[in-house]
Structure 1
Amino acid sequence: MSGAHATPTPEPAIEATGLRKSYGDVTVLDGIDLRVGRGTVHALLGPNGAGKTTTVRILATLTRADAGRARVAGYDVAADRARVRRAISLTGQFAAVDAMQTGEENLRMMARLSGLSRAAAARRAGELLERFSLTDARHRLAGTYSGGMRRRLDLAAGLVGDPEVVFLDEPTTGLDPRSRRELWDVVAEVAARGATVLLTTQYLEEADRLADRIGVINAGRLVAEGTADELKSRVGGHRLDLVTTDEHAYLRLSPRAVHHDPDALTLGIPTDGTAAHVRALLDELDPHRTDIARLSVHSATLDDVFLALTAKEPAHV
């Protein structure tokens, strides 16, 4: 309509174009493009050595890219490093808390370092202890905390200054299932309060549960990106599991599969789940009806996506 003005697209919280990084002859990042909307949770999913941590270190100004550009919270990570650092927090794979201080002392120290007065630091520490369910342990040395409690304390310390962007680099690595789920609840709350979260993980369930969008990274490249449902649809939406009659049949059909279980002679083949497609696959894969003993159909999972997208080439060390 004449005279109408388009609503401007809000600037993303994180935007990266063509990020490259090598160490000697090893290419760690091979042209990463990334765009993360404000107030969302974005997961980078990939195997060990895929380039997830290097990506986070570049975005958090801890490592310089060899090529490419990136902006975080509206600031260039190379030209405005100090401004980027004031706008972010970073929690890594291992809790970086002082084991010889109490939980409360850790948070008050971080609040003082961020510029708060003594009174304001005490108030902020109390708020965070309550928010992260650590009030009862506030006077205990952090060294006596469980792994899950230490990780929650570490995340609380990173939120002292109410950062716009929170980087979580495999934050639940090494945690037991109960502690992992407790931390998931905390991450969901952080996002609900308006922060942007970039999460790296090897746990498919973690990405599926927490992330608005997921990027699959492998061998230094972003090989797919979308919502969990969009990624699942890339491998057919469903999976046809076939139990073959013998090892020869298993090896013949193996190249078509996204899931392999050689011990059980079972292969998973992408399908749309309809009877017509399943019948067509069976006729194509086993025209003489001698190689397939049993079959079952189930919905595709992020495991199927992950295996299909990362099995094509090995990740870099």
Structure 2
Amino acid sequence: MSEEDKVPSPDGTGVVPEPEPETVRRRPKWLAPAAVGCVLVLLAVGGVAGYRMWSARELAEAKEACAEAADGARGAANDYNALVNGQAADASAVTVDQVKDARTVDALAKALKTTVPEYEGCLAGSKAGLDEATSKLDRQAAWYKTHAASLGKAVKAVESSRLDRTVEDAEKLLADSKGRVADEKTRSMLEQAIKDRDADAIGEAVNAVDGSVKAKAKADADAKARREAEEKAQAEQEAQAAADAAAAQAQAQQQAQSYGGGYSYGGGTGYTGGGYTGGGYTGGGYTGGGYTGGGYTGGGTYTPPATGGGNGGGSAPSGPISGGHGIGTCTDGCASLPPIRH
């Protein structure tokens, strides 16, 4: 630019250069659409990338939520199964005759027949599938918690009813065992256990009382057997003594009849025959060829018959026959004498 072409500036501080003639350049017609297309492509690529990033983040969050739900369901299921296999299993072994209220046993059996939900886990590959699995797992966890609570109540009802029956039976045993135990301390233990409602202590005390009752029963039976044996032995001894005494008495009587006591023969008005009359005959024994003892004593004399018969009409002997000197020579009258008995 020449000096002549310089124009002063409006504020007078300088000059404003004159514009030089520009060379006119024409842009291609495709440039603008291409630029727009590039922008759109960039926007599309960015949008897709952003969507993918968003989708990935949503999927990750869904997986995390499903995993948490799965953990909750597994925990609730484990708690429920532990109850089923533990306390509920023990309580289910209780029979109706072991509880005071049989309805508790039926209620527990019904609670154990419930079908548990099937665990599926987080197997879906999409957010929608994972969200559905999460909801299902949450429902399963709630089911396990609800049924664990109801099952626990059923178990406690059976245990409480069983304790009531245990206490009732223990009270009956305490009353029935009064005066029937060998050791009274066992009943005191049982009484205290009943007051405490301690099932284990009651069981131990019941066993102790039962053992003490059996011990006393055995001791009483042994004592009774000894007493009966002693009474039987004494009775046998007394019977034997009585038998011996009776035998001795019989033997003494037999000996007295055979060797003692003597012989007596009494006649009423006597014998009147060939001239013999007498009031009776007594003798203490017989020795040698003569008869000695009490001798012969008669109420009259011996009169031999007279010639031609008669009843005492003949002559008399020189004197009466005395038993103290023997009979001596016997004539016709000896045939009328009774035989001598030994």
- Please give the range of the TM-score, normalised by the shorter of the 2 chains: under 0.3
Structure label with greater radius of gyration: 2
TM-score, normalised by the number of residues in structure 1: 0.18
TM-score, normalised by the number of residues in structure 2: 0.17
